[in-house]
Chain A
Amino acid sequence: MTLEVRDLSIRFGGVAAVTNMSLDVNAREIVGLIGPNGAGKTTFINCIAGVAQPDTGAASWNGRAILGLSPADLLRLGVARTFQSVVSLHDLTVLDLVKLGAAAHARRGRGFLSQFFGSDKAVDEEICESLLAPLNLVDVANSPIQTLSYGQRKSVDLARALACEPQLLYLDEPVAGLTFQEGLNMGAVIRSVRDRFGCSVVMVEHKMDVVMSTCDRIVVMAHGARIFEGTPAETQKDAEVRRVYLGDA
């Protein structure tokens, strides 16, 4: 149950967004991917999430090559992601979106006829209990997503990704745009998700307090490459990281 990325590079025209980036993620590990704006974090995630096609490099999940697979293929392999900016999905309710997320999973997805003729009541209750309750979303389960706060939408996106029971979860800035308290809660939720589902997590994040308290290991990126890797404590002490990240001379 490991993710192995080797020497991944991608260029957009003259811009080398990611250069020879390697990353290992072990089972049940939460890896934080940090770095200044433009460091290539989201591009890197996009490459291993089937959104962008890297120019060179290799990536495997449990020994299976995953570069070039579509997001739908990856979901079937147990790799799910959340999005940095949450699109306001008009008309869809929280339950709608989570059920759609669950459909990507073979076992949880229900046949069309059973959805057409059957009642969703049992499924709704199960989703509320197992996914929405831990994320404090039960009260808004039937609300359209655009009526929710930004923080709640982030939680909905996470619930949607969790609905297909991923074993590897990419979180693209799960805390960005949240209040301080919401951010801390989200960090706790991410750890509890890992504990309950036993999945590995790669999270891109800027908020250092959340990263420090949530991640087991931190990888620092700058200019498209890895410049440091270590525990949260080591990361905070490292001079190079401080220089790149905090901008002191």
Chain B
Amino acid sequence: MTKRSFLVALALAIGFAVVGFESGRFWAYLVYSVAIASIGALSLNILIGYCGQITFAQGALIGVGAYGAGIAGNAGWGAASLLVGAVCSALVSLLIGLPALRLRGLYFAISTLAAQFILNYLFKILQPLTNGVSGLVVKPLMLFGRPANDEQYAVICVGLLFLSWLVLTRIIQTNVGRAFLVVRESELVARGMGVDVARAKIQAFLLSGFFAGLCGGLIAFTSRLANPEAFEIGLSVDQTAMIIVGGLGSLGGSIIGAGFVTLLPEAIERLGELLPSADLISAFREMAFGILIILFLLLEPRGIVALARRIFARRGAAARTNLPDRASYGSGAISAQNGRKA
């Protein structure tokens, strides 16, 4: 990470924290929603975008963090319950990831799909822990002796997002992160280079699970509820949309994608209020994600980040572009997944 990207990120974080704190409850809500979704997207991008392990269990994993943090919070653990949720998710993520040591690509992805449904089922039936389908009511986080309000949550979430980004950016720039990238491209080459593929995968699952759990804990506290419906496959799809739209294998892209996917429904709703045909617009809202994901996969699999880089590259030293075109840059994370690519 360069000093410049650190300062830009810090300035953005402070800017959004101020907006969240000073502009009323609605803006605070938007800011913390995006920040929380971003932490989840960062976590998912580590696993899919960097390490190449496609998972559909992200929604349930976030749920594990939410329940873990919620239960710990209700037991009076305070802010430490966020850590409890994160650790719970990291451990469950490790379990979900174990088949990845044997299975590859789509076969593994299907096993995570099973994990998603099993976990969601557990949320419903483990009545004593999770309070079943009606959901677990979570006591608010206490701040200065009073329940935290939305504005304070906005600041907390932006702060934690900044920290998460910082930690993950640093890890990506160590040999741990480099090993993820090599494993994504070719396990065979990784092994030949002396990379411990199994260890790299385990590390990716633990790391990704930890931040998914942090995301879940924040959802539990801000919404004051952890219920099974919130952590269904739809959340996994939303999270996947975020990293595809934002950019696979780009931490900054995860945050941009999270903002895009979180704010798009709000924007469409506002549009619907202005226009007479509200029904039509709300139907479009359902379709928008699907269309968006398909468009990005077709036109720019590396997301908004790659799009922006291309535009800048064209505008800048157009003659000697340092960036490869889409054909060669393309669907690295996805295509490397067919498992047969040696």
Contacts and interface: CB of A to CB of B under 8 A. Distances in A.
Given A104-B193, A104-B194, A116-B170, A146 B175 contact: no
Nearest to B179: A100
Interface in B195-233: 195-196
Interface residues of A, number: 35
Contact of A164 (B176, B181, B194, B329): B194
B194 A72 contact: yes
A91 B193 contact: no
A90 B186 contact: no
A90 B249 contact: yes
A171 to B, nearest CB: 13
A75 B174 contact: no
Nearest to A143: B322
Interface in B267-297: none
Nearest to B330: A90
A158 B171 CA distance: 26
Interface in B146-198: 170-171, 173-176, 178-179, 181-182, 184-186, 189, 191-196
B182 A92 contact: yes
Contacts, number: 80
Interface in A157-204: 160, 164
Nearest to B170: A116
Interface stretch (A2-10, A23-31, A81-89, A130-138): A81-89
Contact of B181 (A70, A91, A99, A120): A91
A234 B308 CA distance: 60
B104 to A, nearest CB: 16
Contact of B193 (A100, A109, A110, A116): A100
Contacts of B145: none
B328 interface: yes
B175 A83 contact: no
A71 interface: yes
A104 B329 CA distance: 28
Given A109-B175, A112-B174, A87 B185 contact: yes
Contacts of A88: 185, 328
Given A115-B174, A116-B170, A147-B323, A72 B182 contact: no
A96 B332 CA distance: 18
B128 interface: no
A221 interface: no
Contacts of A51: 191-192
Interface string A102-130: 01100001101001110010000000000
Interface of A: 49, 51, 70-72, 74-75, 81, 83, 87-92, 96-97, 99-101, 103-104, 109-110, 112, 115-117, 120, 143-144, 146-147, 160, 164
10 contacts: A49-B192, A70-B191, A71-B194, A90-B184, A90-B185, A91-B181, A97-B182, A100-B178, A103-B194, A112-B176
Given A101-B194, A115-B174, A164-B194, 5 more contacts: A49-B192, A87-B189, A99-B175, A100-B179, A147-B324
